[in-house]
Structure 1
Amino acid sequence: MANVFDAATYILEQCGPMTTMKLQKLIYYSQAWSTVWDDDVIFPEAIEAWQNGPVVRELWQETKGRFRIDAVSKGTSANLTDTQKETIDRVLGFYSNKDAQWLSDLTHMEDPWKMAYAEGQNTEIFPAWLVEYYSSIAPEQ
C-alpha cells in the first residue's frame, strides 16, 4: 500500500514547490475524495484536526521547519496505483490553484474537521467521516 509520502511526492511532481500547509491540505483532499470515488484510502496514516486544518503528523514531522517544500525524502510516486494517481489528479484539477489559507479556511467550514476539532485539537479525522461528508457533496462523475 502507498503511504502519505508517496502521495506527497506525486503531488509535488505534478504541481512543483508549494508551502507545507498547502501540501497538507492537498493530501487531505486527496484522501477525502479517494474514500468517496474509490471506496478506499490512498494511505494508512491518520489525518488529525489541527488548529490550521487537517494534518498528517508523519508528513508534518518530515517537513517540520520548512515553509516551502519541493520534495519529501521518503516517498516514491511509483508506489501509487493508476487509480490513486487519477484521483489525485482530479483533486489537483480543482484545488491546486487555491492558496494554502483558502484551503485551510475551506476545511474549517466542513464537517470532518469541525467534528474532530470539537473533540479536541489533534483528534483523528476518521475515513468514515470523510465518506459520510464528501459523498453528500460529491459532484456527478
Structure 2
Amino acid sequence: MYDALTIAMYIINKCFEEGAPVTNLRLQKLLYFIQGMSYVIKNRAMIKDEFYAWQYGPVVPKIYFEYNGYIGNPIRITYTINNIENEDVEIIDYVINQLKQYKDSVLVTLSHEKDGPWYGHRLDRSIIKKEEIRKYFMELQNVN
C-alpha cells in the first residue's frame, strides 16, 4: 500500500502532463475511485490512508489540506515519482482515463450513491472503512 500523497502526486503529474490539471476536488474523487478499482483488480487497498465522508464525498484529509490553497483552481505542480509499481500505475492510469470525460460534479454524484459507502457516513463526517469501500466496489463489479 502507498501513502495517499504518493498516489496524489502521481495523479497531479499525469493530469498536468496531459494538459488537464486536476482540482483538489477531482483529486479526491480520483483517489477514491482508484482505491475502489484496486480492490476490484487486485483485491487489496492501494492507499493506506483512511477516507472520510465530507460534504462533497470521500476525502483523505491530509491530501485536502496539502492542496486546499488552490481553492477550486487546477493544481499545476510536477513531482518526481519513481516508487509506484507498474501494475499499480496501470490501475491509476485506467481510472484517470475512464473518468476524464466527466465533470467534477458528476464524480461527486457518483461518489454519493445512496447504496455507496459515503452515504452512510455523510452526516457525521466519519471514517469510511476500507472494508466498506472494498465491498461496494466488488458488488458493483459483480453487477456489471
Q: Distance in 1 between matches of 2:62 and 2:38?
A: 19
Matched, 1:91 2:95: yes
Which residue is 2:54 aligned to? Answer: 50
Change (3 A) 1:7 1:19: same
- TM-score calculated relative to the size of structure 1: 0.86
Which residue is 2:29 aligned to? Answer: 25
**Aligned to 1:35, what secondary structure does the other structure show?**
helix
Q: Which runs of 5+ in 1 are unaligned?
A: none
Q: What are the Cα deviations for residues 59-112 of structure 1, in whole angstroms up to 9, with x where unaligned?
A: 01101221221237xx75322111211111111121122111110011111511
Q: What are the Cα deviations for residues 20-72 of structure 1, in whole angstroms up to 9, with x where unaligned?
A: 10111001100111122112212211111100111100101101221221237
Q: Distance in 2 between matches of 1:46 and 1:134?
A: 16
CA contact (8 A) 1:5 1:76 kept: no
Which residue is 1:132 aligned to? Answer: 135
Q: Distance in 1 between matches of 2:8 and 2:84?
A: 11
Which residue is 2:75 aligned to? Answer: 69
1:139 Cα deviation after fit: 6.9
1:5 Cα deviation after fit: 1.2
**Aligned to 2:82, what secondary structure does the other structure show?**
helix
Letter in 1 for 2:76: D
Q: Which runs of 5+ in 2 are unaligned?
A: none
Which residue is 2:118 aligned to? Answer: 113
Aligned-pair identity in percent equals: 28
1:12 Cα deviation after fit: 1.8
CA RMSD of superposed structures (Å): 2.1
**Aligned to 1:97, what secondary structure does the other structure show?**
coil
